[in-house]
Amino acid sequence: MKIGFIGTGIMGQPMAQHLINGGHEVFFSSHYKAVPSELLSAGGKSVANPKEVAQNSDIIITMVPDTPHVEEVLFGEDGVAQGLSAGKMVIDMSSISPMATKDIAARINELGCEFVDAPVSGGEVGAKAASLTIMVGATEGGFDRAKPLFELMGKNITLVGGNGDGQTCKVANQIIVALNIEAVSEALVFASKAGANPAKVREALMGGFAASKILEVHGERMIKRTFDPGFKIALHQKDLNLALSSARELNMSLPNTATAQELFNTVSAHGGAGSDHSALVKSIEIMANHTIGE
């Protein structure tokens, strides 16, 4: 199949690599930045802009940071929409506004094309391992057409509902992840300041009801102080902004989500916006006047 892929960042590059490894002919745009040499060496093809990506592809995938980036790639000058023809499919795997997604889907549908929103969870580790969770908003037919591609990139693939529902699911995911990171941060800082060995506390908790993927992966990051980004704080802040703005539209409150966002803001104010989101622990450490392991 001829696939277009726009957005070869921390997660996008390994995702695209899996598509190439799966035998697909994959086209990339060099409009925003140079296509990674690893993808070109593996057989990927570079074209000038998103419009040419769409002209050369049957299915176009976007994996970019935020709502304005998706809108620019799709509808800007030399954008994907200008290269579409009836019957093609656009899959957005970014994490963006559920409300904006419905409007984007309608505009793509007006061109005689299918739109699928399919945000992912699993971070850099999941992208490299092709074990991403993929939350899909699409028609049944659109889901069936896209699923073979998703299976090259992920494991837990779910059709949540129609357009926008995949993005709504991703926002819910990011709420849960943020609050879990916050809970693990509090627990490990508390244990460490009380004089217990945080590594041993984590080990003990992994065998009980408190066990979680966050405690397993990010708890270890907190203890070992390995905050190189698998998923940047700045991106999680963006996702929580989506949650909080959507909550206002729905006339509801997300009190603990708001607190988690403030804690991310604290780390960001201290220069940590580019750190992994597990570095939220630093905000708890600042308030405790204690760093894990001291």
Catalogue the active-site residues: 170
CA-to-CA distance for 95 and 166, rounded, in angstroms?
9
Question: Residues, the chain, total?
Answer: 294
Burial class (CB in 10 A: 0-12, 13-18, 19+), 280: buried
CA-to-CA distance for 280 and 294, rounded, in angstroms?
18
Longest dimension (CA), the chain: 65
What are residue 134's DSSP bridge partners? 120, 157
Question: Distances from the Cα of 147 to the Cαs of 48, 61, 114, 135, 143, in angstroms?
Answer: 28, 13, 14, 11, 6
What are residue 161's DSSP bridge partners? 137
Cα separation of the two ends of the chain: 54
- Coarse DSSP helix, strand, coil percentages of the chain, rounded to the nearest 5 percent: 55, 15, 30
Phi, psi (degrees; rounded to nearest 5) at 9: -90, -150
Q: Is 156 helix (H, G, I), strand (E, B) or coil?
A: strand
Contact in structure between 94 and 122 (CB atoms under 8 Å): no
Question: Distances from the Cα of 96 to the Cαs of 79, 214, 246, in angstroms?
Answer: 18, 23, 11
